[in-house]
Amino acid sequence: MDFELLPNLVTFSPLGGVLFLLFLNSEKKNLIRWVALATSLITFGISIWMLMQFDANNPALQMVTNLSWIRIADWNISYYMGVDGLSILLILLTTFLTPISILSTWTAVEDRVKDFMIFFLMLEVGMLGVFMAQDLFLFYVFWEFTLVPMYFLIGIWGGPQRIYAAIKFFLYTMAGSLLMLLAILWLGINQGSFAVPTLIELGNIPLGIQTWLFLAFAIAFAIKVPMWPLHSWLPDAHVQAPTAGSVILAGVLLKMGTYGFLRFNLPLFPEASIKFAPMMAGLAVVGIIYGAIVSYYQQDIKKLVAYSSVSHLGFVMLGLFALNSQGIQGGILQMINHGLSTGALFLLVGMIYEQTHTRVFDVYGGLWKLMPVYGTVMLIVTLSSMGLPGLNGFVGEFTILLGAWGAGMPGEVLGSYWYAGLSAIGVILAAIYMLYMFQKIFLGPEGSIVETVKDAGHALRDLNAREIITIAPLLVFIFWIGLYPKPFFALIAPAVNNLVEILQAAAMHLKYSL
Amino acid sequence: MIQFDINNLKPILPLIVLTVWAVALLLVDLFIPKERKGLTALLAAAGLALTIGFALAQTGQTGLGFNGMVVLDGFSTFLNVLLLVTGLMGISLAYGYLKRMGIERGEYYSLILFSIVGMMLMAQAADLIVVFIALELLSIPLYVLAAFANTNAASEEAGIKYFLLGAFSGGFVVYGIALVFGATQTTAIIEIAAAAQAGTANIPLMLAGSALIMVGFGFKVAAVPFHMWTPDVYQGAPTPVTAFMAAGAKIAGFAALMRVFSTAFPSLAADLTPVLAILAALTMIVGNVVAVAQTNVKRMLAYSSIAHAGYILMAFVAFGNPEVAPTAIAAGIFYLVTYAVTNFGSWGIVIALEEAEGKGLELDDYAGLGRKNPLMAAAMTVFMFSLAGIPPTLGLWGKIYLFSAVVAVDFYWLAIIGVLTSLISAFYYLRLVVIMYMKDGEPKTTSEWWLNLSWISMAAITVILSFIPAFLFGWASEAVMKLF
C-alpha cells in the first residue's frame, strides 16, 4: 500500500479540465480553447514539479502508488503507477506536446471545439497512464483507452478519407493488443502477478514460452511503432488526422510502441529478446531504408513526413535491440527527438495547409521570399530531422549507430556490422528526401499556389505571433538536446544500465544452457 | 404416502409470489380501461419489485424442496435477482413503445411475468423434469410475445418461427432427459452425478442424452448451428420483446446449462469439452462475421447476440476441471450480467429511434445522432464499446474474465479465436459509432421518461462498474461456490 500523489496528479489532472469543459456552452469557442490550454499547461507544470522530485541517480521505480484494485480468486490486479528513467522523458514529452498541439488548433478547428478539446484531454490521460502504469492490466486498459479519443479525433475532424483512416487505425491497433491481452492473462495466471517489477524479479519463464509471449507483445507494439511491414495504417492515419492529432500521433502515440518494447519485452523476456534481436534489428533496418525511399517518392508533404516516421522509428528500434547501454539510451533519446522534430514538421505543414488548403508539392515553390520566418523555422526543423550535428537528431542517431556498431561485434547480440552500416545509409537518404522537400517548397520559381491564394482574396502571410509561440518551445529543445544532451542522458542512464544488467544476465544464462 | 411439508415452499417463495401476482394481474387487467394500461405496467413492475425483495431476502440461504426437485442456493438467488431486473427492463422499455405502436394490451405485462417465473424456475431446477417444465413455462409466453404485434406479418412470422423451433428444441431436451434417465435410473441432477461416479451409469447412453440436452439448449441460447431462427425472430418481434428475449432467455438457458453440466455431467467432461469448445468457436465466428454484413440494426444486434452466446459458451470448456470450473462459471454469469446491461441499453436506444412500420431501424437512420442528441449517441457509443470489449466499459471485464478461464485450462486456440472475433466485432460496432458521429443526417428520436431512464441508467452502470468490477465478480463467485 503505497500512495504518492504526484504521478496520479499528472495523469488525471487533464480530467479536471474535461469536467470543467462539460459544463461550458459549446458556443463559447474561445473560452473553451483557453480552458483546454490552461489545463494542459497546468498538467505540464505538475509534470515539471514531478521532474524536480525525481532522483536521477536512482535506477528503480520512484513515486510509486500501489493499491489493490481487483482481487478475485488468485488474481491480484493492482493500481500500480510509478516513474523511472525509462518513462520520465516520455511523460514530459507528452505533457509538453499537448499544450503545443492545443495551441495549434486555435484557428484550425472551428467545428465542435468543445468535443475536440474533451477528446484531446482524455487522450492525454490515456497516454500518461500508459507511461506510468506498472501493472500489466492497468497498462492494457490505458493502452486500449488511447484508441478511443484518437479514433474520434481522426474520424470527426480529419480529412476526406477520415472514416477509413480512423477505422483502420483502430482495428490495426486492436488486433495487436488483443494478442497481447492473452499473453498478459498467461503471465497473470501462471506467474501469479500482473505487476511488472514483480514479474521481472520472478523471471524464470522457459525459453519456449518466452518466445510466444515475446511475439504476442511484440506484434502489439510493432503495429504501434510501426515497424515494417505492419506500418500501413500509419500513412492513412497521419494524413487524415487533423494537425494536432498528427502531432500527438507522431510525437507520443508511436512512442507507446517503442516504450512497450523497452518496458515489457526486454526485461520480461530477456532471453527471447536476445534470440529475436537480429530479427528485430533486421526489420528495423528494412524500415529505415524502406521508409526513406518511400518518403522520397511522395507527392504530399504530410505523407512524406508520415513515411519519414517509419524510417526514424526504425532507428529507435535498432537502438533498443542493440541491447546495450548506448543503443538503448540513444533509442530513448531518439524517441524524444522524433517527437520534437516530427511534431514540429507536422505543425509547420498544418500552418501552411491552413492558408493554402493543399499539400501537393507541385503547386509549391519559392515561398522563402514570401515567408522568411516560416522558411527559417522549417529549415531548422528539416536539418534536425535529418540529423545535422549540433541539432537534436544527430545526437540520437549517432548514439544509436554507436550502440548498433558495438552490438555488431563478433560474439555480441547482432553479430554483424551490416546493421549499423546499412542504417547509416538511411541517414544519407534522410538528407536527400528532407532537403528535396525543403527545396520544393521554398526554393526555385514561385509555385502556382501563390496565385491561387491571391485569387482567393488574401495573400500568403508569414507566421503570426501565435504560430511562433507554438513552434518556439520545440526549437529550444531541438537546440538544447543538440548542443548539450548530457542532462537528458543523465536522466535515463541509471535505469537503462539496470535494464542492460538484466539482459546481460540473460545472455550468460543462454550461453550456459546452450 | 409422502407427507407434505410446508417447508417445501420456502425455496420457491419468490416464485409463488410472482405467480400469484401474475394471475391476479391478468384478472385485474380486465377492469383497467383500455386507455389506462399504464396502470397494468405499473402493477407488473410493482410485482417484480416485491419479488426482488423476497429474492434478496433469501440471500445466503440454501435448501432443497419437493424431494430435491428444486434447489435454493447462491447461484439461483443471484440469477433470480438478475432475471427480475431483466423483467423490469422489459416493462420499462415497452411502456411507451406499445402505446406508440398501437399494440398496447395488458396481457403483455402478465406474459412477461409468467415468462420470468419460468426463467426463475430454470435457475432453481435441481431435477431434469423441472428443467423441462421451466423451459416450457418460459418459452410459451415468449412465443406469444414475439407475435404480439399481430396483424404485422413480420411479428406473426417471428412468433410462428419461434414456436416451431422452440417446440423442436424442446423435443431434443425431452429426448435427452429420457436417455439420461435410461442411463442412470434417475432425473435428479445430484443422483445422476452420483450414479456416474459409482460406475452404475451407462456412459454411452448418458453421453448421448447430455448431447441432446446440449442441442436443445443450444437452440434456446442461439448457439451456432442452432441459431437460424434468431435473426428473423429478433427482427420481427416487437423491439422490447426482442430485448427481453435476448437477455432473459439467454440467462435462463445458460443457467440450466451451467447447473446441469457442472453438477450432473462433470464426469463426461473429457468427451463433451471439445464439442463445447467447437460450438463456442463456431458461434463466435458465425455470429460476428455475419453481423458485419447487416444493414438493419435489429439484425445486427441479433447476430451480435449470437456471437455473445459464443463467448459465454467459452466458460464451459473449463467445466470438467474442478480447480478452474468455479471461476469459469462465475465468469460466465458475470458476462451474463454485463451482456444484459449492455443489451438493454442498446435495445433501448433502438426503441428510441424506431418509428411505426419498422422505419428508423436501418444503420443509416443513425446518421447525425452525435449532433442531434449527443447524450443518446454517447450512451450508444458506450454500449457498442462494451459489446466490443473496449475500456472503460463493463464489457471489457466480461471478456477478460472469460478469456482468463480459457487460458487457465490451456485452450489457447479458443482464446485466440475469441480475441480475433472480438476484433471483427469491433468493426461493426464501430461502424455504428462512425455513422452516429461522422455522417450527417436528421434522425428522429423519441423521448419517453421510462425509456430515457432505462438507457441512461444502463450506460451509467456500464461505465461506473467498469472501474470497480471486482465486487460484482465477487458476488458471482460467491454465487457459484455452492454449485461445486
Residue pLDDT, tens place only, A365-382: 778 888 888 888 989 999
Using CA atoms, how far apart are residues A292 and B303, in angstroms rounded to an integer?
A: 45
| Confidence label for A74 from pLDDT (cuts 50, 70 and 90) | low
The pLDDT score that the predictor gives to residue B463 is 92
Question: Is A511 a residue whose pLDDT tops 80?
Answer: no
**Backbone phi and psi for residue A410, each to the nearest 5 degrees, phi listed first:** -55, 135
Per-range mean pLDDT, top range of A24-28, A142-146, A440-444: A142-146
Chain A residues with CB-CB distance to B385 below 8 A? 148
CB A337 within 8 A of CB A392: yes
A79 contact B CB<8A: no
| Window B:376-415, CB contacts with A under 8 Å | 385, 390-392, 396, 400, 403-404, 407-408, 412, 415
CB A327 within 8 A of CB A397: no
Between chains, do B470 and A71 touch, taking CB under 8 Å as contact?
yes
Among B110, B446, B396, B425, CA closest to B288:
B425
Between chains, do A178 and B422 touch, taking CB under 8 Å as contact?
yes
> How would DSSP label each residue in A161-199?
THHHHHHHHHHHHHHHHHHHHHHHHHHHHHHS--BHHHH
Say which of A71, A145, A170 has its CB closest to residue B426: A170
Between chains, do B400 and A185 touch, taking CB under 8 Å as contact?
yes
| Confidence label for B83 from pLDDT (cuts 50, 70 and 90) | very high
The pLDDT score that the predictor gives to residue B449 is 87
Between chains, do A181 and B400 touch, taking CB under 8 Å as contact?
yes
Q: Residue B120: inside a domain, yes or no?
A: no
CB B352 within 8 A of CB B455: yes
Task: Give the max Cα distance, chain B.
Answer: 74
Using CA atoms, how far apart are residues B123 and B142, in angstroms rounded to an integer?
A: 17
CB B255 within 8 A of CB B220: no
Q: Residue B303: inside a domain, yes or no?
A: yes
A274 Cβ contact partners less than 8 Å away, ≥ 6 residues apart = A323, A413, A503, A506, A507, A510
Question: Is A351 a residue whose pLDDT tops 70?
Answer: yes
The pLDDT score that the predictor gives to residue A72 is 66
Q: Residue B126: inside a domain, yes or no?
A: no
Chain B residues with CB-CB distance to A174 below 8 A? 390, 423, 426
Among A400, A397, A215, A177, CA closest to A308:
A397
DSSP bridge pairs for B125: B70
CA angle B6, B11, B15 (to 5 degrees): 100
Question: Is A460 a residue whose pLDDT tops 80?
Answer: no
Joined together, the cell numbers standing for residue A431 give 538528407
Question: Is A269 a residue whose pLDDT tops 60?
Answer: yes
The pLDDT score that the predictor gives to residue B228 is 87
Using CA atoms, how far apart are residues A283 and B84, in angstroms rounded to an integer?
A: 57
Testing the interface with B: which of A79, A177, A178, A217 to mutate, by most B Cβ within 10 A? A178
Q: Residue B155: inside a domain, yes or no?
A: no
Among A67, A53, A60, CA closest to A87:
A60
Which is it for strands A77-83 and B63-65: parallel, antiparallel or unpaired?
unpaired
Q: Residue B420: inside a domain, yes or no?
A: yes
**Backbone phi and psi for residue B238, each to the nearest 5 degrees, phi listed first:** -55, 140
Query: How far is the CA of A159 from the CAs of A97, A224, A351, B233, in angstroms?
Result: 22, 21, 15, 41
Joined together, the cell numbers standing for residue B446 give 423519441
Using CA atoms, how far apart are residues B438 and B431, in angstroms rounded to an integer?
A: 10
A67 contact B CB<8A: no
Length of chain B: 484
Using CA atoms, how far apart are residues B76 and A152, in angstroms rounded to an integer?
A: 42
Interface predicted TM-score (ipTM):
0.77
B298 Cβ contact partners less than 8 Å away, ≥ 6 residues apart = B234, B235, B239, B242, B350, B361
Question: Is B346 a residue whose pLDDT tops 90?
Answer: yes
Q: For the stretch A221-242, what's the b/e string if a residue is b when 16 or more beta carbons lie within 10 angstroms of its beta carbon?
A: bbbbbbbbebbebbbbbbbbbb
CA angle A365, A369, A372 (to 5 degrees): 105
Which is it for strands B70-72 and B63-65: parallel, antiparallel or unpaired?
antiparallel
Nearest CA in chain A to B396: A141
> How would DSSP label each residue in B155-213?
HHHHHHHHHHHHHHHHHHHHHHHHHHHHHHS--BHHHHHHHHHHT-S-HHHHHHHHHHH
CB B72 within 8 A of CB B128: no
Q: Residue B241: inside a domain, yes or no?
A: no
Note the pLDDT tens digit of each residue in B328-341.
888 898 999 999 99
CA-based nearest distance A91→chain B, Å: 22
Lowest mean pLDDT among A304-318, B4-18, B274-288: B4-18
Written as one letter, the residue type at B467 is F
Q: What proportion of chain B, given as a percentage, has pLDDT over 70?
A: 99
Mean pLDDT computed over every residue of chain A: 87
Using CA atoms, how far apart are residues B368 and B442, in angstroms rounded to an integer?
A: 6
B190 Cβ contact partners less than 8 Å away, ≥ 6 residues apart = B68, B126, B263, B264
Kindly state the average pLDDT of the residues A38-43: 92
Say which of B385, B390, B408 has its CB closest to residue A189: B408
**Which of helix, strand or coil describes residue A394?**
helix
Using CA atoms, how far apart are residues B79 and B119, in angstroms rounded to an integer?
A: 9
The pLDDT score that the predictor gives to residue B307 is 93
Nearest CA in chain B to A172: B423
Using CA atoms, how far apart are residues B433 and B439, in angstroms rounded to an integer?
A: 10
CB B61: neighbour CB atoms within 10 A?
Answer: 13
Output the pTM of the full model: 0.85
The pLDDT score that the predictor gives to residue B342 is 93
Q: Residue B212: inside a domain, yes or no?
A: no
Between chains, do B416 and A75 touch, taking CB under 8 Å as contact?
no
DSSP bridge pairs for A80: A66
Chain B residues with CB-CB distance to A69 below 8 A? 470
Question: Is B345 a residue whose pLDDT tops 90?
Answer: yes
| Confidence label for B482 from pLDDT (cuts 50, 70 and 90) | low
CA-based nearest distance A129→chain B, Å: 13
Mean pLDDT computed over every residue of chain B: 88
Note the pLDDT tens digit of each residue in B199-246.
888 888 999 999 999 999 999 888 888 888 899 999 989 999 999 999
| Window A:184-243, CB contacts with B under 8 Å | 185-186, 188-189
Chain B residues with CB-CB distance to A73 below 8 A? 327, 477
The pLDDT score that the predictor gives to residue A77 is 83
B178 contact A CB<8A: no
Question: Is A335 a residue whose pLDDT tops 70?
Answer: yes
Nearest CA in chain A to B439: A156
CA atoms A170, A222, B411, A68: torsion sign: negative
Between chains, do B427 and A171 touch, taking CB under 8 Å as contact?
yes
User: Which residue is listed with cell 505523407?
Assistant: A303
Kindly state the average pLDDT of the residues A85-109: 89
> How would DSSP label each residue in B116-167?
HHHHHHHHHB-BHHHHHHHHHHHHHHHHHHHTTTTTSHHHHHHHHHHHHHHH
Kindly state the average pLDDT of the residues A304-323: 90
Question: Is A447 a residue whose pLDDT tops 80?
Answer: no
Q: What proportion of chain A, given as a percentage, has pLDDT over 90?
A: 21
CA-based nearest distance A183→chain B, Å: 9
Between chains, do B416 and A182 touch, taking CB under 8 Å as contact?
yes
CB B383 within 8 A of CB B391: no
Between chains, do B474 and A72 touch, taking CB under 8 Å as contact?
yes
Domain span including residue B397: 271-484
Using CA atoms, how far apart are residues B88 and B113, in angstroms rounded to an integer?
A: 10
Joined together, the cell numbers standing for residue B223 give 448457439
Q: Chains A and B: how many Cβ contacts under 8 Å?
A: 78
> How would DSSP label each residue in B399-430?
HHHHHHHHHHTT-HHHHHHHHHHHHHHHHHHH
The pLDDT score that the predictor gives to residue B181 is 92
Q: How many domains does chain B have?
A: 1
Kindly state the average pLDDT of the residues A103-127: 87
Using CA atoms, how far apart are residues A82 and A104, in angstroms rounded to an integer?
A: 31
Kindly state the average pLDDT of the residues A63-67: 85
Kindly state the average pLDDT of the residues B89-111: 88
The pLDDT score that the predictor gives to residue A259 is 93
Joined together, the cell numbers standing for residue B93 give 422499455
The pLDDT score that the predictor gives to residue B461 is 92
| Confidence label for B63 from pLDDT (cuts 50, 70 and 90) | confident
Question: Is B191 a residue whose pLDDT tops 80?
Answer: yes
CA-based nearest distance B363→chain A, Å: 16
| Confidence label for A202 from pLDDT (cuts 50, 70 and 90) | confident
A144 contact B CB<8A: yes
The pLDDT score that the predictor gives to residue B337 is 93
Kindly state the average pLDDT of the residues A224-246: 86
Note the pLDDT tens digit of each residue in B7-47.
788 888 999 999 999 999 999 988 888 888 888 999 999 99
CB B225 within 8 A of CB B313: no
A114 contact B CB<8A: no
Testing the interface with B: which of A170, A173, A194 to mutate, by most B Cβ within 10 A? A170
| Window B:282-341, CB contacts with A under 8 Å | 327
Q: Is B152 left (phi over 0), alpha (psi -120 to 50) or beta?
A: beta
Question: Is B126 a residue whose pLDDT tops 80?
Answer: yes
CA angle A313, A316, A317 (to 5 degrees): 90
Say which of A70, A171, A174 has its CB closest to residue B470: A70
Q: Residue B355: inside a domain, yes or no?
A: yes
Alpha-helical (H) ranges within A194-248 are 196-202, 207-224, 233-240, 243-248
A151 contact B CB<8A: yes
DSSP bridge pairs for B63: B72
Question: Is A357 a residue whose pLDDT tops 90?
Answer: no
Kindly state the average pLDDT of the residues B449-465: 91
Per-range mean pLDDT, top range of A383-397, B119-133, B320-334: B119-133
Between chains, do B438 and A155 touch, taking CB under 8 Å as contact?
yes
The pLDDT score that the predictor gives to residue B484 is 55
